[in-house]
Structure 1
Amino acid sequence: MILKKIYLSWRPGKGDGRYLVGVFSRENSSGDDILFKYQADEVVKAKEKGFYNYPEFPDFDKEYRTNLKTALSLRLMPKTRADRNNYLSFWNANVNGLDWFDELGFTQGELATDTFEFLAEYPKKHNGIGINFVSSVAALSHLKLATDCVNIGDKLRFELELENKFDKSAVKIFKRNDFIGYAKRGHNLFFHKVKNDEIDIRVTNLEKNGKMNQIYFSVRVFN
C-alpha cells in the first residue's frame, strides 16, 4: 500500500484543461478505509464547463466511505484478463504490495466512454525506496509538436512555473531546452517535492498518427 491520495480529474473533452473535482483519501494504513469527497472550488469551475457529477457519487455535499471499490470496479483491470501483466507493466504497477487503491492511482482508471482520470499524489519514497510511476504530457494538442520531437528513451527534465495564473502548481516538461508540455494536474504536485538531480524522467511510449498525440514518461526517484 503506497498511495494515500488520488484526485478525481475531469475535463470537458480531450485537449481541454483538467479539474480536480474530488479527492480520495486513505484514512489509515490498514488499507480499505477510503474517503471520497468533492472539492467545492474545483466543482464550481468545472460546472461552468458542463460538469454534472461522478455518476456513482451524485451528492456534492456528501462524504462517501462505503462500497468505493465496487463503485470503481470498471476502472480496474480484471485479474482474469490475459493481458493484465502487460497492462500493469506499462504503468509500472506490477510491483508487490499494491492494493486496488494503489492500482487505480498507478493506472489512472481511464475509460473510453468518459473523460475522468484518477491521478495520484505520489510520495517521493515508500519504505525508503524511491517511487517509480508513469504519467503523460499535458497540453500537446495546443503545442502541435513535430512527430520526431522526442523518441522512446529520451531523458526529460522539469521546471516549476510558479507564476502560472491558471495553476500555481504548474510544472513544465522539457527535452533539453525544448518545451514539450506540462505535467498533468494532480501528478504535478509530486514535482514540487523533488529536484531534477533526484529523479530520472524518460520517455516510455509514444502515440502519434500524423501528429504527436501522446507522450508517456516514467519517473524514478533515485534511492
Structure 2
Amino acid sequence: MNLIRHIHQPSRLLLVWQSPEGKSRKRFVIGEICLINGNCVFRYLPNTDDFTNACAEGFMCYPAFRKLNQEYSENILETFLRRIPPRRRGDFNKYLEQWRLAPDAVISDFALLGHTGAKLPNDGFSLINPFDGVSAPHEFYIEVAGFRYQKAISLEDISVGMPVVFAVEPENEYDHQAVRIEVTGRKIGYVNKVQSPAFVRWLDSDIVAGVIERINGTEDRPLIYIYGRVSSKLTNRIAA
C-alpha cells in the first residue's frame, strides 16, 4: 500500500454536483471555496456553462447556501467538514488509510476535504482540488473518471499494482486538455476534467508515474483509484 505523508496546501477547492439517476450523470463545477488570508469564502459560479447545464439538469443550490448570487464567508469550513469523519474519532486513522494518507500525514482540514472529495452517498456533491500551482515533487491519489464507458477493457483485466500511463488527448472533441489513463496500452478512463489542466502542465515539464492502487465500488459502478507521483525531470537527470 502506498501512503502519502504530505499534501500541498490548496488555495481553492471546487464544488462539484453530479446529476441524479435519469439524467446525464455528468459532474458539473457549480461553486468554489477560496482560502483567503486563512479564511474560507464560498461562492457559486453562475456565469459558467457548467452552472447553466447543472441547473438544466435539476441543480438548485447547496442546502447550506441557498442564495446563488451571494458570497459566503461564515462557517464555510465547518459546514463542509460535516461531510467527513471528525479527527477525534477513534477510527480516523483508518479513514486516512482509505485515502492513502499516512497517520502522521501533514494535512490541513481544507486540504483533507479536497483530497477525499468529501462525498456523501446520496446528495451528488463533492469537492475537488484542482492542483492550482502545484509543482514537483508531488504525490496524488485520484479516481479514474469514465471507466464504465470503456468497451475495450474490463475490470477483470485490471489489478492493484499495475502501472498506468497518462497521455494528453488534444484531439478530444469535448476537451482539448483531456488526459487519458492507460493500462497495458488500453484506455481505462480519464483524469477528472477539473484536474486535467494540472496534469497537462506536469506532463509537459515533469515525469508523471502512477499505479492502480485500489479497486472498489459495485459491479455496475466500479471505482478505480490511482496513486501517483510527479517528479522533476531535472532531479531525475541529476540522480542518474
Question: What TM-score results when the alignment is normalised by the length of structure 1?
Answer: 0.87
Match of 1:124 in 2: 134
Stretches of 4+ moved more than 4 A in 1? 208-212
Out of 102, 116, 121, the position equivalent to 2:111 is 102
Distance 2:177 2:26 in 1: 14
Tell me, yes or no, if structure 1 residue 179 matches structure 2 residue 194: no
Partner of 1:143: 150
Stretch moving more, 102-111 or 183-192: 183-192
**Residue 14 (structure 2) aligned to one of 7, 15, 20:** 7
Q: Does residue 1:79 correspond to 2:79, yes or no? A: no
Pair 1:134 & 2:141 matched: yes
Which entry has the higher C-alpha Rg, 1 or 2? Answer: 2
Residue-by-residue CA offset, 1:163-202 (whole Å, 9 max, x unaligned): 4333343221111320101111222232022128612211
**What is the CA distance between 1:211 and its match in structure 2?**
5.6
Per-residue CA deviations over 1:120-166 (Å, capped at 9, x if unaligned) read 012433xxx62212111111222254122211111111122234333
* Structure 1 pair 73–130 and aligned structure 2 pair: CA distance change class (3 A): same
Give the TM-score of the pair, scaled to structure 2: 0.81
Shift of 1:96: 4.1
- Distance 1:221-1:21 versus aligned 2 partners, 3 A rule: same
Q: Please tell me the root mean square deviation across aligned C-alpha atoms, in Å.
A: 2.3
Q: Which runs of 5+ in 2 are unaligned?
A: 1-7, 233-240
Correspondence for 2:238:
none
Q: Percent identity?
A: 25
Contact preservation (8 Å) 2:177, 2:197: yes
CA contact (8 A) 2:81 2:109 kept: no
Q: How many equivalent pairs are there?
A: 217
Q: Does 1:38 align with 2:44?
A: yes
Q: Is the 8 A contact 2:140 2:229 kept in 1?
A: yes
Question: Which runs of 5 or more residues in structure 1 are unaligned?
Answer: none
- CA separation in 2, counterparts of 1:208 and 1:4? 30
CA distance in 1: counterparts of 2:155 and 2:217, whole angstroms: 7
